[in-house]
């Protein structure tokens, strides 16, 4: 094999830079600017008149090129295309959202769908339930109790048949007993599905039977504590029925527009005169069928369910129907059943006719009139049988009463509120009612009368309904709307007098978690401290806090939502003792994470406040100490990010020694988190570079010792990191910082550690759950290291290029992947480095660091050493190329050949005959098997030609003439 002697090309970097610099031109048009079409028309005289789509805006005398009014931004007439797309995405409201005037409801109006889940969750039971129906699955037959009807005479038979027709049954009443709540919900869902199936199979009578039997369930109060949830489940069936009937009628009610003979379906905003007579007759038949139901409760509920169908009959029918149905409810004796009937009427009414409100105040008046029934013997006996106390019974009224009052308060004025207050005070003055009033009306209306409401709460009757519920509801209003400033303290004093006397921890914390936000919003740290102290006092006895961690977390969250100045927060004496109440580790860690999230987000300026540092260090230690071998990676990453954010936000200014001491303390406190250690090393390196900037690279003995201490900190800390890839990167980075600070022995130590670590790098790495090879990462770091070696001076005691020789020895013995060519690609980069080291003056230098060009001064012995290493590397690459002489490896052989060719052209002196010959052969080998893209070869050839044109070396021109492109056929 021929021997090729490497001859580096002597380069003039300044001249090359001048040749490659381009002449700048002003950008007159933006590449993303939309095309403006110019309409050119000729008038009668033959002259052309131009009409531009838009006028061009005149630019001012001076415009900041980076501002939104720059010369390029002006091309978009104030908005670039990408911003337009983004703004369109923001402006488009998501489907299903309600605007203020779209359906006649307030923006704050909470839809029923939002309340359902809360009702189902709150009102549960462990009692056994029963359900009466003719439509259950065959698997349930064994659980049924059949109510048979004995028929002895003709009169009995007639009576029996009439009862069957009235009940819409199919021969018998089937009652399923001893159902758990879960089974009951399942059976209700089955009824809903059977209703839909019957309707789709045109079994209208069966569908009506299912709905009637479902509505009858609402007259059953045998398990009274479950009644609100049962109401939610059954009314879902009624809503489904109402929707099916309405859609069917609308489908049948086609109309023929004036002047058109084609029948069309009704539009959404149709009027009764557009509905055909046949459809109207069908609609009336539905109402007639329902009117024939003998029992009041199913007749009422089923008619309300199809209330929307009145829109097919007459304009203004809703108002009369709603008032008539409201009067029907007066026939319901049970006060709980009656209030939920009014709830359903108002719920359907607000959907089909939101502007119609004439029925709402009479419903409210009827409730006030009949409220005294809750103390009747019938109700008391029912409660005694079911072992339910009056306070719990009254809470069953809340969902229905809240909804009725919310509908009454919708788009109402303060006058309505005053009227409701006067009536309630006159008739029942109940705490239950006052609670619903406060929650229903706009918080602004309540906040203006905050003192009045506190007086009313004191005066109202709390029989059965605890007043702490009212204070909680009032607090919810006052945190959403601010009371007058002169009332704020008065309200707090009046409320807290009562709250602090509460003995039950559940009642106390229920109020406290609401009112803490009111205190934080309107008062200072003194008042907040008093409230926290009172909470600690109430929650500490018998370790009551262990049962109320969610509420205590809510207190912390609300404090953090309003206090973003952590010097104020941590100066609250009782804040950290309050945090200490979270003695369950998982909960305490969550609270600490919340604190640090707010700190990282809102601590804009770095701080050195010792109060903040000590308190935040305590919080971070709590998070750090919770990490163990079982901690999930996402949790570990989140905690690491928060602690790293804390470290970044602590700065002691020019007191660098104090800053380093802080980092030493952090290292001892957070030693189990790699990401935090990486952050500390990065910060210490930045600290050493900041020291260099302050002294402008001219270190004194004191600053020199300090930057060496920084380097020692990094060198000691890096081995503590578990990730060897992170260690590799940090050794390189820390060595570069040490070099810039003229810490040569520390630089050697870092770079030696970098080289020694290469064999320990794992072959694969888990990235986002996928296994990735580490070779690309390793090669990237090696390239970075080679670029750094250009300016690293040799250690006189260690020999010429001892670091580079050590790297090459490691790479020679490294087990590279067989399907990659990274080894020889690194060799080509080393060739480029050695050629750069052969120059009289290097391409770049580090300030106040003497590189080898200054140390050796183009010493022939040094240059010969470089040439010898280059020749050896060339031989290694050529030997490697021979191992790729197999058909399946031709593409890799072509790529390596082209890489070495480009290295020779850019860094070798082709006036050396052996290099000229080698370059020609490599070109031929690169395209010998036709594996490379022709476009790549063309670009390489054009690069050689441009180099020939710019250089005085005629061999480039000769080389370009000998390089041919093989055509592919």
Q: Cα separation of 889 and 883, whole Å?
A: 9
If DSSP states are collapsed to H, E and C, what string results for 706-762?
Answer: HHHHHHHHHHHHHHHCCCHHHHHHHHHHHHHHHHHCCCHHHHHHHHHHHHHHHHHCC
CA 736 distance to own-chain centroid: 39
CA distance to 313, 529, 609, 737, per residue, from 694 (Å)? 87, 44, 24, 15
Report residue 173: phi and psi, to 5°. Answer: -100, 125
- 283: closest CA among 259, 257, 317? 317
Q: Cα separation of 328 and 336, whole Å?
A: 15
| Collapsed DSSP state (helix, strand, coil) of residue 131 | strand
- 611: closest CA among 648, 650, 567, 669? 567
CA distance to 164, 821, 830, 871, 915, per residue, from 2 (Å)? 111, 23, 22, 12, 11
pLDDT value at residue 240:
92
* Residue 352 near residue 311 (C-beta atoms within 8 A): yes
* Confidence band of 798 (pLDDT split at 50, 70, 90): confident
* Residue 678 near residue 726 (C-beta atoms within 8 A): yes
Give residue-wise pLDDT tens across range 26-51.
877 777 776 666 555 555 444 444 44
Secondary structure E strands in 24-154: 39-42, 48-51, 129-132, 144-147
Handedness of CA 734, 738, 743, 744 (dihedral sign): positive
- Between 72 and 664, the higher pLDDT residue: 664
- 684: closest CA among 702, 666, 697? 666
Q: Is 699 left (phi over 0), alpha (psi -120 to 50) or beta?
A: beta
Q: Cα separation of 569 and 562, whole Å?
A: 10
Handedness of CA 685, 687, 690, 696 (dihedral sign): negative
* Confidence band of 202 (pLDDT split at 50, 70, 90): confident
* Residue 410 near residue 354 (C-beta atoms within 8 A): yes
Q: For residue 225, what is the DSSP state?
A: G
* Residue 876 near residue 860 (C-beta atoms within 8 A): no
**Most confident region among 83-92, 265-274, 929-938 by mean pLDDT:** 929-938
- 313: closest CA among 282, 277, 280? 280
Kindly state the average pLDDT of the residues 11-21: 83
* Residue 771 near residue 814 (C-beta atoms within 8 A): no
Kindly state the average pLDDT of the residues 836-849: 92
Residue 163, pLDDT > 70, answer no
Report residue 842: phi and psi, to 5°. Answer: -75, 160
CA 896 distance to own-chain centroid: 47
Give residue-wise pLDDT tens across range 506-561.
999 999 999 999 999 999 999 999 999 999 999 999 999 999 999 999 999 999 99
Kindly state the average pLDDT of the residues 152-174: 48
Give the bridge partners for 479, in sequence order: none
Contacts 24+ apart (CB under 8 A), 487-491: 487/450, 487/451, 488/522, 488/523, 489/523, 490/451, 490/454, 491/450, 491/451, 491/454
Tally of CB atoms within 10 A around 563: 18
Tally the residues of the chain.
969
Q: Cα separation of 344 and 349, whole Å?
A: 8
Q: What percent of the chain has pLDDT over 70?
A: 86
| Collapsed DSSP state (helix, strand, coil) of residue 768 | coil
* Residue 214 near residue 378 (C-beta atoms within 8 A): no
Residue 291, pLDDT > 50, answer yes
Residue 137, pLDDT > 60, answer no
Q: Lowest-confidence range among 53-67, 463-477, 702-716?
A: 53-67
* Residue 128 near residue 180 (C-beta atoms within 8 A): yes
**What tokens were used for 607?**
């701080």
- 195: closest CA among 219, 178, 212? 212
- 424: closest CA among 443, 405, 442? 405
Q: Lowest-confidence range among 59-63, 151-155, 251-255?
A: 59-63
Q: Cα separation of 355 and 142, whole Å?
A: 50
Q: Cα separation of 5 and 329, whole Å?
A: 108
Kindly state the average pLDDT of the residues 786-812: 92
Kindly state the average pLDDT of the residues 306-318: 84
- Report the relative pairing of strands 173-179 and 144-147 from DSSP bridges: antiparallel
- Report the relative pairing of strands 144-147 and 48-51 from DSSP bridges: unpaired
Q: Cα separation of 598 and 249, whole Å?
A: 56
pLDDT value at residue 584:
92
Residue 93, pLDDT > 90, answer no
Q: Cα separation of 190 and 206, whole Å?
A: 14
- 123: closest CA among 227, 222, 215? 227
DSSP string, 369-380: HHGGGGGSHHHH
Q: Cα separation of 556 and 579, whole Å?
A: 8
**What tokens were used for 439?**
């929650």
pLDDT value at residue 60:
41
Residue 165, pLDDT > 50, answer no
Residue 359, pLDDT > 50, answer yes
Give residue-wise pLDDT tens across range 463-512.
667 888 889 999 999 999 999 999 999 999 999 999 999 999 999 999 99
* Residue 369 near residue 311 (C-beta atoms within 8 A): no
* Confidence band of 153 (pLDDT split at 50, 70, 90): low
Q: Cα separation of 391 and 586, whole Å?
A: 35
Q: Cα separation of 847 and 735, whole Å?
A: 15
Residue 56, pLDDT > 90, answer no
pLDDT value at residue 44:
45
CA 862 distance to own-chain centroid: 60
Q: For residue 605, what is the DSSP state?
A: S
Scanning 460-524, the segments in alpha helix (DSSP H) are 467-480, 485-499, 505-522
Q: Residue 917: in which H helix or E strand, if any?
A: helix 913-926
Domain assignments of the chain as residue spans, ordered by start: 34-102, 413-482, 502-651
- Between 393 and 144, the higher pLDDT residue: 393
Give residue-wise pLDDT tens across range 243-260.
999 888 888 877 777 666
Handedness of CA 935, 937, 938, 944 (dihedral sign): positive
* Confidence band of 758 (pLDDT split at 50, 70, 90): very high
* Confidence band of 172 (pLDDT split at 50, 70, 90): very low
pLDDT value at residue 257:
73
Instruction: Name the average pLDDT for the chain.
Output: 84
Contacts of 308 (CB under 8 A, 6+ apart): 242, 246, 348, 351, 352
Give residue-wise pLDDT tens across range 912-923.
999 999 999 999
Kindly state the average pLDDT of the residues 287-294: 89
* Residue 475 near residue 514 (C-beta atoms within 8 A): yes
- 639: closest CA among 584, 587, 590? 590
Q: For residue 393, what is the DSSP state?
A: H
**What tokens were used for 610?**
């010792």
Kindly state the average pLDDT of the residues 874-892: 91
pLDDT value at residue 53:
43
Q: For residue 908, what is the DSSP state?
A: B
Residue 267, pLDDT > 90, answer no
Predicted model pTM: 0.76
């Amino acid at each position: 094999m021929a021997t090729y002697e490497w001859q580096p090309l002597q380069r003039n970097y300044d001249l090359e830079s001048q040749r490659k610099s381009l002449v700048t031109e002003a950008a007159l048009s933006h590449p993303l600017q939309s095309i403006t079409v110019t309409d050119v028309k000729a008038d009668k005289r033959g002259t052309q008149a131009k009409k531009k789509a838009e006028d061009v805006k005149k630019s001012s005398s001076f415009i900041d090129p980076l501002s939104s009014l720059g010369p390029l931004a002006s091309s978009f007439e104030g908005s670039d295309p990408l911003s337009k797309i983004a703004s369109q995405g923001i402006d488009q409201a998501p489907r299903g959202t309600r605007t203020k005037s779209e359906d006649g409801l307030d923006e704050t109006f909470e839809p029923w769908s939002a309340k359902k889940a809360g009702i189902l969750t709150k009102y549960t039971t462990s009692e056994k339930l029963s359900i009466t129906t003719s439509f259950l699955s065959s698997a349930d037959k064994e659980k049924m109790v059949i109510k048979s009807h004995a028929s002895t005479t003709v009169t009995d038979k007639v009576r029996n048949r009439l009862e069957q027709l009235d009940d819409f049954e199919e021969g018998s009443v089937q009652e399923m007993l001893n159902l758990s709540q879960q089974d009951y919900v399942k059976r209700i869902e089955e009824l809903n599905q059977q209703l839909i199936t019957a309707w789709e199979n045109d079994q209208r009578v069966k569908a009506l039977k299912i709905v009637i039997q479902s509505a009858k369930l609402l007259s059953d109060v045998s398990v009274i504590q479950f009644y609100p949830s049962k109401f939610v489940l059954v009314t879902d069936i009624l809503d489904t029925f109402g929707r099916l009937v309405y859609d069917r009628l609308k489908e049948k009610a086609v109309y023929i527009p004036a002047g058109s003979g084609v029948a069309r379906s009704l539009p959404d905003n149709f009027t009764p005169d557009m509905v055909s007579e046949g459809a109207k007759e069908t609609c009336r038949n539905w109402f007639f069928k329902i009117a024939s139901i003998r029992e009041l409760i199913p007749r009422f509920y089923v008619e309300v369910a199809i209330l929307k169908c009145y829109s097919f009959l007459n304009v203004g029918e809703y108002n009369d129907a709603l008032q008539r149905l409201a009067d029907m409810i007066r026939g319901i004796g049970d006060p709980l059943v009656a209030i939920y009937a009014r709830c359903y009427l108002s719920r359907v009414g607000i959907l089909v006719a939101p502007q119609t409100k004439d029925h709402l105040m009479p419903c409210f008046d009827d409730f006030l009139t009949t409220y005294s029934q809750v103390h009747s013997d019938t109700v008391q006996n029912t409660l005694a049988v079911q072992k339910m106390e009056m306070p719990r019974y009254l809470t069953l009224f809340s969902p229905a009463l809240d909804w009725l009052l919310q509908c009454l308060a919708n788009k109402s004025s303060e006058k309505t509120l005053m009227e409701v207050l006067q009536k309630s005070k006159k008739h029942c003055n109940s705490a239950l009612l006052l609670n619903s009033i406060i929650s229903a009306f706009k918080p602004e209306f309540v906040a203006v009368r905050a003192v009045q409401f506190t007086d009313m709460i004191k005066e109202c009757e709390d029989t059965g309904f605890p007043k702490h519920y009212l204070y909680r509801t009032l607090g919810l209003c006052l945190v959403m709307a601010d009371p007058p400033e002169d009332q704020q303290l008065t309200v707090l004093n009046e409320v807290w007098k009562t709250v602090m006397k509460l003995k039950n921890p559940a009642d106390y914390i229920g109020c406290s978690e609401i009112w803490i936000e009111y205190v934080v919003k309107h008062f200072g740290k003194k008042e907040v401290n008093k409230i926290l102290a009172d909470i600690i006092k109430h929650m500490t006895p018998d370790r009551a806090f262990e049962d109320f961690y969610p509420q205590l977390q809510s207190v912390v969250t609300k404090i953090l939502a309003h206090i973003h100045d952590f010097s104020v927060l941590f100066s609250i004496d009782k804040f950290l003792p309050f945090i200490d109440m979270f003695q369950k580790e998982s909960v305490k860690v969550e609270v600490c994470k919340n604190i640090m999230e707010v700190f990282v987000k809102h601590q804009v300026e770095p701080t050195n406040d010792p109060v903040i540092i000590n308190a935040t260090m305590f919080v971070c230690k709590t998070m750090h100490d919770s990490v163990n071998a079982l901690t999930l990676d996402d949790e570990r990453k989140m905690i690491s990010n928060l602690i790293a954010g804390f470290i970044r936000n602590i700065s002691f200014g020019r007191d660098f020694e104090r800053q380093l001491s802080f980092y030493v303390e952090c290292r001892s406190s957070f030693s189990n988190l790699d990401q935090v250690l990486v952050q500390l090393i990065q910060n210490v390196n930045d600290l050493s570079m900041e020291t260099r900037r302050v002294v402008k690279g001219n270190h004194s003995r004191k600053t020199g010792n300090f930057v060496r201490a920084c380097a020692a900190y990094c060198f000691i800390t890096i081995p503590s990191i578990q990730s060897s890839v992170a260690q590799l990167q940090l050794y390189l980075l820390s060595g570069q910082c040490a070099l810039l600070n003229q810490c040569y022995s520390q630089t050697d130590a870092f770079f030696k550690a970098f080289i020694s670590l290469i064999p320990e790098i794992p072959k694969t790495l888990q990235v986002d759950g996928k296994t990735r090879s580490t070779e690309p990462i390793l090669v990237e770091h090696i390239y970075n290291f080679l670029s750094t070696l250009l300016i690293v001076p040799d250690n006189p005691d260690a020999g010429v290029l001892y670091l580079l020789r050590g790297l090459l020895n490691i790479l020679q013995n490294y087990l590279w992947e067989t399907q990659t060519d990274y080894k020889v690609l690194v060799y080509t980069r080393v060739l480029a480095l050695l050629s750069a080291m052969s120059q009289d003056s290097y391409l770049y230098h580090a300030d106040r660091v003497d590189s080898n060009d200054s140390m050796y001064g183009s010493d022939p012995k040094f240059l010969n050493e470089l040439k010898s290493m280059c020749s050896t590397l060339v031989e290694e690459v050529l030997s490697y190329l021979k191992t790729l002489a197999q058909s399946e490896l031709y593409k890799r052989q072509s790529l390596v050949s082209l890489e070495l060719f480009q290295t020779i052209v850019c860094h070798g002196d082709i006036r050396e005959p052996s290099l000229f010959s080698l370059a020609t052969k490599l070109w031929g080998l690169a395209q010998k098997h036709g594996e490379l893209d022709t476009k790549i070869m063309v670009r390489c050839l054009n690069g050689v030609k441009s180099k020939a044109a710019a250089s005085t070396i005629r061999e480039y021109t000769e080389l370009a003439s000998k390089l041919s492109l093989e055509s592919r056929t």
